[in-house]
Amino acid sequence: MIRFLARRIITLLVALVAISIVIFLLLRVLPGDLALVMAGVNAPASRVEALRTQLGLDEPLGMQYLHWLGSLLHGDLGASQLTGRPVASLVATRAAITFPLIGLGLLVALVVGIPLGCAAVLARSRRVRAVFQTIAVIGGAVPALWAGLVLIVLFAKGSGLLPLFPSQGFPLNAWHNPGAAFMSLILPALTVGLIVGASIMRYTRSALAEQMQSDVIAMAMACGYTRTQAVLHVGLRLALPQLVSVIGLTFAEMITGVMVIENLFALPGIGTGLINDVGHRDLLAVQGELFMLAAFFLVIGLLVDVTHRVLDPRLKG
Amino acid sequence: MQLSRSSQPGSGRSRAVWRVVLATMWAHGTGRFALVVMALWTAIALVSLFWTPVPLGLTDGFNVWAAPSLTHIMGTDGTGADMFSWLIAGMGTDLFIVIVTVALTAALGLLVESLMVSRSVALSQGSIVTVDALISIPTMLIALMLAAPLGATVIGVILACGIGYGLNLARVARPAALLAARSAYVESARANGASAVRVFFTHIVPNCMPVMIVQLSLSAGTALLAEAGLTYLGIGVPSGTPSLGRSIATSVSLITVHPTTVIWPGLTATILVVALNLLGDNLRDAIDPLRNPALRQLGHAVQSSDAAPEREA
């Protein structure tokens, strides 16, 4: 376990450095000149020159990178060029919307996906299995944007057929009014949850189906379990490590995956913010945010791997 | 090895294999659905290159936000452009994106795969560790990294998807590849002097094929969905270029005007993605001689350890 952990942490550090180099180079080398891009095409040359000095762009590339890396190591992710706010606090404000959204979405996904996945394996009739199969295939093929649109058409206040929930926006005073904030997250969370639920369902089904092939289920049934009990008690426990890995990675992926949904429902979350910063050419903020997100994904990847090992005693040794 | 060399497939035999594969797919309901949709999609894409019901650039300024009618089956958008024509042309763009993405995914996946099963410990361990670390970076984030400097481009979409799915492909196909790489027939091929490249393409790739085909077809569908999302966010297909994502994004603005027109672009995308996924499932079952008895009867797969049928198919 310790060797595994050590190896995995070294990998993480190497990957972090690699990602930081990639992000840095993408934002420096490809567009030509960061200062020119940030100042805009029509800016006077003196303004561009001033910006270049201010950003340290007249230094050699290697030095610039080392400076950035140095400030990263001090926990300084940089600041927005437009508002002057530090990136860390920008991301924190946005995370207060994105994380509740993906938490709720994941909850919906698990409540929908795991029972459906189990039922798909337990169903004996060919026809019923075909129905579950159809649900899984179609659920995985629906564009998130469109699912959100359909939910708006059905349930949004103002234009919906059954006006229940606010269609867009997030209360300006954020979580000071928890009820309103919660209500505005329901439609987006449902959209995300149903789509992610379809994928959780597929994973549950295939992980359980794999266990069904093994002797374990037969053994449990020989010991007096019914087929349903064997699948739910023994099969699900054996499939758990795989499922936890998938759920962990899904959770991480949702942070950027809900970007479209945040945009559609006008929620000022991490994804919307990142897109806006890219649009505003606030490239230093983008650089910090991209690195922070990438680091977050890598850490989640590490945690998932470790949890997988803890949950699956067969991997020990 | 000797067998496969002496029985170089003639074009006649490979045509027979194809006929069996297609017939097997056609015999399944889902396979037939996938084939029909793919054929229609290709036909529509080709036609849309030369002709659309209303020329794409023709905007009817007196007829903006028009309801569906005989002249504009799906109505018009805010500039008076015909939604149906744009949807059709968008299907063409997306077919292009899907095909190139799948090609890039396969190429990158195989490249990484070859490193992962290579006999040099440094190469294989290094690539495994790198992929393990990078796999948790979502495609969306790669797309954003590329969009920051590149802006909205078709190439950005294809690169982001290709990189993300390629790494995933290599990781998913690794168990099958390792199994083949450690097999007796690979050992015997090596002993007979086969080069690493030859071993990889004649033994390891065919054994990964079933897994890879399913994974590639999932990638194809996901690429289409990613295009829709990225285009809506303004970092996918540039404005002015038709695509399914553009059509869905346009329908967002129609939601309060003609809620019913919202259905079509999204439904089209859903059907295409379903067809792509089913195509992969059925293709895997049809080209695998272990699963498809008709293919075995063709007299190919009798050369058991040689994977000639897969290579041709």
**pLDDT top residue among B24 and A52:** B24
**pLDDT top residue among B237 and B147:** B237
Number of domains present in the structure of chain A? 1
**Domain-located, residue A22:** no
Q: Which domain holds residue A157?
A: 95-270
> Mean per-residue pLDDT for A38-62?
75
pLDDT given for residue B188 in this prediction: 92
Residue B146 has pLDDT above 90, yes or no: no
A15 in contact with chain B, both atoms CB, cutoff 8 A: yes
How would you class B80 by CB atoms within 10 Å of its CB: exposed for 0-12, middle for 13-18, buried for 19 or more? middle
> Mean per-residue pLDDT for B129-143?
80
How close is the nearest chain A Cα to the Cα of B175, in Å? 15
Read off the CATH number of the domain in which A132 is found.
1.10.3720.10
Taken in order of first residue, the domains within chain B and their CATH numbers are 25-52+83-292 (1.10.3720.10)
**Domain-located, residue A14:** no
Residues B21 and B295 sit within 8 Å (Cβ to Cβ): yes
Across the interface, which of B132, B233, B262 has its CB nearest the CB of A11?
Answer: B132
What angle separates helix B83-116 from helix B263-287, to the nearest 10 degrees? 40
**Domain-located, residue A138:** yes
Q: Tell me the pLDDT of chain B averaged across its residues.
A: 83
pLDDT given for residue B51 in this prediction: 82
> Mean per-residue pLDDT for B145-169?
89
How close is the nearest chain A Cα to the Cα of B97, in Å? 16
Listed residue (A260, A101, A254) closest to A187, CA to CA: A101
pLDDT (tens digit, 9 = 90+) per residue, A54-86?
A: 777 777 878 888 888 888 888 788 887 777 788
* Contact between A257 and B221 using a beta-carbon 8 Å cutoff: no
pLDDT (tens digit, 9 = 90+) per residue, B205-261?
A: 988 888 899 899 989 999 999 999 999 988 889 988 899 998 988 888 777 777 777
SS3 per residue for chain B: CHHHHHCCCCHHHHHHHHHHHHHHHHHCHHHHHHHHHHHHHHHHHHHHHHCCCCCCCCCCHHHCCCCCCCCCCCCECCCCCEHHHHHHHHHHHHHHHHHHHHHHHHHHHHHHHHHHCCCCHHHHHHHHHHHHHHCCCCHHHHHHHHHHHHCCCHHHHHHHHHHHHHHHHHHHHHHHHHHHHCCHHHHHHHHCCCCHHHHHHHHHHHHHHHHHHHHHHHHHHHHHHHHHHHHHHCCCCCCCCCCHHHHHHHHHHCCCCCHHHHHHHHHHHHHHHHHHHHHHHHHHHHHCCCCCHHHHHCCCCCCCCCCHHHHHC
Residues A167 and A158 sit within 8 Å (Cβ to Cβ): yes
**B29: nearest CA in chain A?**
A130
How close is the nearest chain A Cα to the Cα of B91, in Å? 15
Residues of chain A found within 8 Å of residue B225, distances taken between Cβ atoms: 141, 143-144
B155 in contact with chain A, both atoms CB, cutoff 8 A: no
* Contact between B136 and A27 using a beta-carbon 8 Å cutoff: no
A168 in contact with chain B, both atoms CB, cutoff 8 A: no
Residues of chain A found within 8 Å of residue B141, distances taken between Cβ atoms: 256, 290, 293-294, 297
pLDDT given for residue B299 in this prediction: 61
A11 in contact with chain B, both atoms CB, cutoff 8 A: yes
